[in-house]
């Protein structure tokens, strides 16, 4: 599957809540503005017209994102208000730790440290109220910066970030 529509869909998906601009899509796929614009319209229509899909493509702040359709919000609110979904997975704890020790930090920087895409984890931590945005980075694309919240401090019994235990880099690097 190497259609340009599928390629654009994949780019939008992996950029998560940061989204991707038309210019970035053009550069990544070596397509003209007209081609990208046409394909984005097709992709948006594809999701809009599919009543069996819970997803949509939106243009927010000149960036394209894949999000859930608004009519599904009551179901999602119930899901995330359930205490069982507040449990942090190992991957979520890893992402939260990286953000706590390196804040403010972009999703791409978290990805680089973890070695895998962290979009879903960051979205979950954001929805759980454990992280929030801390402005935008001054690097290309101006990605969002993330930091921990007071809820994070409360959950882990910390008065401030100064109460985080020091990282033992020697043991962490040795895998002990």
pLDDT tens-digit map of 19-69: 899 999 999 999 999 999 999 999 999 999 999 999 999 987 788 999 888
Q: Distance between CA atoms of 72 and 94, rounded to whole angstroms?
A: 29
The pair of structure tokens assigned to 95 is 């992402």
Is the domain covering 82-174 a CATH 3.40.50.11540 domain? no
In this prediction, the residues of the chain whose per-residue pLDDT falls under 70 are 1, 79-86, 168-176
Residue range(s) in the chain whose domain bears CATH number 1.10.10.10: 4-70, 82-174
Write the DSSP symbol of residue 5. Answer: H
Give residue 20's pLDDT.
Answer: 93
For the residues of 108-170, what is the DSSP string, one character each? HHHHHHHTS--HHHHHHHHHTTSEEEEEE-SSTT-PEEEEE-HHHHHHTT-SSGGGSPPP-HH
CA 20, 26, 31, 36 torsion: positive or negative?
positive
Fold of 4-70: Arc Repressor Mutant, subunit A (1.10.10)
Any bridge partners for residue 20, and if so which? 64
First and final C-alpha spacing in the chain: 43
Give me the pLDDT at residue 38, please.
97
């Amino acid at each position: 599957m190497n259609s340009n529509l599928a390629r654009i869909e994949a780019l939008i998906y992996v950029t998560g809540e940061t989204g991707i601009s038309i210019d970035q899509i053009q550069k990544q796929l070596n397509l003209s503005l007209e081609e990208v614009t046409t394909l984005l319209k097709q992709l948006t229509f594809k999701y809009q017209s599919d009543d069996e899909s819970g997803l949509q493509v939106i243009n927010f702040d000149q960036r394209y994102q894949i999000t859930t359709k608004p009519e599904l919000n009551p179901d999602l609110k119930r899901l995330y208000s359930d205490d069982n979904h507040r449990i942090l997975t190992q991957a979520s704890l890893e992402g939260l730790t990286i953000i706590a020790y390196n804040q403010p930090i972009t999703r791409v920087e978290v990805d680089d440290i973890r070695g895998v895409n962290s979009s879903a984890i960051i979205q979950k931590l954001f929805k759980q109220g454990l992280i929030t945005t801390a402005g935008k980075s001054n690097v290309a694309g101006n990605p969002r910066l993330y930091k921990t919240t007071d809820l994070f401090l409360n959950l882990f019994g910390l008065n401030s970030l100064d109460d985080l235990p020091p990282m033992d880099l020697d043991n962490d690097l040795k895998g002990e």
